[in-house]
Structures are given as structure tokens and as C-alpha cells.
């Protein structure tokens, strides 16, 4: 059974501006809009006395930002739900949309984290790849810092060294047409940028990928100057086409599904000529494959 990306449990406190002084120039200079309280509530998929589950948009950072509480998911949740503390279980890159879970108390946070470590909780993704992938593909090997890139955070597939980490991902094509592929993806490890690196290593980079795509110069210029509309013709989307689709217990517990955001659906409709109701069709195909991966390990 394929494992989710496993992340530590984060106890989130407000960060001062000085907390960010060590960050490299690779941090986005493009300033995302602030979260509106009404929009935050519209992203909420589930709430009970111990957890909150959101369908995060693909422009919002998870962790507290120097731009104030309403500039990050964690900050906005603390303000809107009047919580002194929240525990982030798992995390997503800024440009990755989809399911993210926040615990309201330490007990709930530890329960979900323990379930992740015991492989009782799983995560799957949907990704749109550049190129038509014809069959299920497993990518495995070692990831480490890219020594040839000026971007400090950039990873790449390298040999087995004392600084590299083993990574494994499984890609399953749901629909391919017009030079693109919608894939369901599960991971057995949780490395930085793992799916993005593996997609590039296959020769099928994610649509919208600035760092692990055709030219990392897109990323460098984006960090320096922000988004340019003329890039859309080549990149296809303003962000990487990666969506955290499912998250939850495989058996005997809650499980959640995040509907696709409008930019993802628009690309499928416009570039792949997918039907307007394609999400339902692809969801069933993905569910069957994903469950087989999870239960068959």
C-alpha cells in the first residue's frame, strides 16, 4: 500500500518579521492577496470539536507569514475561529491546492500524526502532466539538493549519498489527450517537492511548473518580479497543476475528498477537451486505483 507524505506535527505560534531574515532570495516576492473571512469559510470542508479540514487554494501559504495573520492559512484560521493554537497535520506548497487538516488541540494533533506514522491515514494527489503518459509508472531513487541550481530549495534525482534521501512515487494516468495527462499520484515517502521532481525526472513536468519545468528562469523571475501574463501561453497555468485530492483513514475513520478548483477544471476542459462533468468520471477511476494501492501494500 502506498504511503502518504508524512510530515511532523507543527505547533504554530505567531512569527515576528525577524523570523524570516534568514530566508534566501528563493522565497516568493510575489505577494498573494489576503484571505477574506467569508472566503476562508467557503473553503471549509469539515469541522468538529477537534479538527478543521480545508480545501486550500493554490495561491495561499500554510504557515504564518510576515505579511500578517490573514496572509496564511494558519493565521487566518487562528483569527477567524478564535484559536490560540492550531496544529498543522501535513503541509502543502503554496501553489499546491487541496486538502489540509488543522487540529484544534494537541491531543487531536497527536492522534492524527500517530495515525500518519502508523500508515493508517493516507493522502493522494491529482496532477496534470505535460506529455501523454500511457501507463502506470513508478519512480524511485534518491533526492537531494540540486548543486547546479541557484535556487537553494531545488531538489533533483541524485545518487545515494549521506545527504540524499530515498523517495518513491506512483503515477496512474486517468486521462490523456492533446499532449497532457491527468494523473492520480500516491507516494511512499514524503520528500521535499517529491512529486514535482519525479514528474520532471520522467520527462513529464507538471503543467504550470516554474521550478521543475522547462526553465527554472521562470521561477527566478517570478521570485524577483511576480507573475507575468505572457508566461501563461507556455506554462498553461499560473501555478503548478498539483491538487491534494484525498486525505484520511483507509479504514475505520474519517476520510475527505477535495473538489477540483476552477483553474484545474478549466485546464482539463480547455486543453484536454474533457467533458464538463469529467471530475465525477475521473474520481471513480482514481478511487478504485488509489484504494487498491492503499489496501494492497
Alpha carbons 116 and 86: distance in angstroms, whole number: 18
Decide if 108 contacts 255 (C-beta within 8 A): no
Global confidence as pTM? 0.87
Q: Which ranges of the chain have pLDDT less than 50?
A: 1-28
Give residue 29's pLDDT. Answer: 54
d(CA 130, CA 232): 14
pLDDT of residue 21: 29
- Cell 485546464 found at: 267
Q: Which CATH architecture has domain 9-296?
A: 2-Layer Sandwich (3.30)
Q: Where are the alpha helices (DSSP H) in the chain?
A: 37-43, 73-80, 106-117, 194-202, 217-225, 232-235, 262-271, 278-296
Question: pLDDT of 75-101, one tens digit each?
Answer: 999 999 999 999 998 789 999 999 999
Marked catalytic residue, from 93, 148, 225, 252: 93
- Classify residue 22 as left (phi > 0), alpha (psi -120 to 50) or beta: alpha
- How far is residue 88's CA from residue 73's CA, in Å, rounded to a whole number? 10
Q: Residue 8's pLDDT is what?
A: 33
CA-closest candidate to residue 227, choices 212, 216, 238, 217: 238
Where are the domains positioned within the chain?
9-296
Catalytic site residue 93?
yes
Query: Which pLDDT score, from 0 to 100, does residue 30 have?
Result: 61
Amino acid at each position: 500500500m502506498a504511503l502518504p507524505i508524512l510530515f511532523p506535527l507543527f505547533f504554530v505560534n505567531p512569527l515576528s518579521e525577524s523570523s524570516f531574515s534568514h530566508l534566501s532570495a528563493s522565497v516568493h516576492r510575489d505577494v498573494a492577496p489576503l484571505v477574506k473571512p467569508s472566503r476562508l469559510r467557503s473553503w471549509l470542508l469539515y469541522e468538529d470539536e477537534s479538527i478543521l479540514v480545508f480545501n486550500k487554494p493554490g495561491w495561499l501559504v500554510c504557515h504564518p507569514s510576515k505579511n500578517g495573520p490573514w496572509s496564511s492559512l494558519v493565521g487566518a484560521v487562528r483569527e477567524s475561529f478564535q484559536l490560540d493554537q492550531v496544529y498543522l497535520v501535513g503541509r502543502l506548497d503554496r501553489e499546491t491546492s487541496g486538502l489540509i487538516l488543522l487540529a484544534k488541540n494537541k491531543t487531536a494533533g497527536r492522534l492524527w500524526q500517530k495515525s500518519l506514522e502508523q500508515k493508517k491515514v493516507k493522502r493522494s494527489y491529482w496532477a496534470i502532466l505535460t506529455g501523454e503518459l500511457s501507463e502506470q509508472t513508478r519512480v524511485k531513487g534518491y533526492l537531494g539538493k540540486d548543486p547546479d541550481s541557484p535556487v537553494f530549495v531545488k531538489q533533483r534525482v541524485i545518487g545515494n549519498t549521506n545527504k540524499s534521501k530515498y523517495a518513491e512515487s506512483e503515477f496512474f494516468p486517468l486521462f490523456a489527450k492533446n499532449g497532457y495527462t491527468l494523473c492520480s499520484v500516491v507516494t511512499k515517502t514524503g520528500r521535499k517537492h517529491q512529486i514535482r521532481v519525479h514528474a520532471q525526472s520522467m520527462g513529464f513536468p507538471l503543467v504550470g511548473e516554474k521550478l521543475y519545468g522547462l526553465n527554472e528562469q521562470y521561477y527566478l523571475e517570478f521570485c524577483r518580479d511576480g507573475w507575468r501574463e505572457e508566461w501563461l501561453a507556455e506554462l498553461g497555468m499560473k501555478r503548478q497543476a498539483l491538487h491534494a485530492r484525498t486525505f484520511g483513514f483507509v479504514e475505520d475513520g474519517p476520510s475527505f475528498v477535495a473538489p477540483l478548483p476552477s483553474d484545474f477544471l478549466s485546464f482539463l476542459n480547455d486543453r484536454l477537451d474533457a467533458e464538463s462533468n469529467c471530475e465525477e468520471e475521473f474520481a471513480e477511476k482514481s478511487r478504485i486505483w488509489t484504494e487498491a494501492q492503499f489496501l494492497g501494500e
